Amino acid sequence: MNKELCLVAACPVTVHSRGLCAKHYKAAQRIIDRTELTWDEVVQSGLCKPTKPKGRTHSRFSRRLLEIAHKLHPQSSPETTEANV
Ligand SMILES: [Zn+2]
């Protein structure tokens, strides 16, 4: 078993989901419930990991993130999308 630790600095608890321990996962979930924030945005900010890192789905994942980035910030994402993945 992979005993990965929570991504939150100084948190010594093993991962529950999305790279976070149960406590931090719930804390994040609560913020997401209360605000417009989404898990994808949290992933993009580097504060958690995507749900299931299934092998090599990276390009698909990247594409989804880019779609979201483009949707959220249409003016700040130039046409470089596919090229840099
Ligand atoms: Zn934690």
> 7-34: per-residue pLDDT in tens?
999 999 999 999 999 999 999 999 999 9
CA of 47 to the centre of ligand 1 (A): 11
pLDDT score at 15 = 94
DSSP 6: P
CA of 81 to the centre of ligand 1 (A): 33
Is it the case that residue 85 has pLDDT exceeding 70? no
Render pLDDT for 28-56 as a digit per residue (tens, 0 to 9).
999 999 999 999 999 999 999 988 655 55
DSSP 53-75: --TT-HHHHHHHHHHHHHHH-GG
Ligand 1 being an ion, which residues bring their Cβ within 5 A of it? Answer: 6, 8, 11, 13, 21, 24
Within 8 A by CB and 6+ apart from 23, the residues are 11, 13
- Confidence category of residue 58, pLDDT binned at 50, 70, 90: low
CA of 32 to the centre of ligand 1 (A): 16
Tell the residue number behind the tokens 């949290």, with chain if given: 42
Please tell me the number of Cα atoms within 13 Å of 35 on its side-chain side. Answer: 11
pLDDT score at 75 = 80
C-alpha angle with apex 11: 5 to 12, nearest 5 degrees?
A: 55
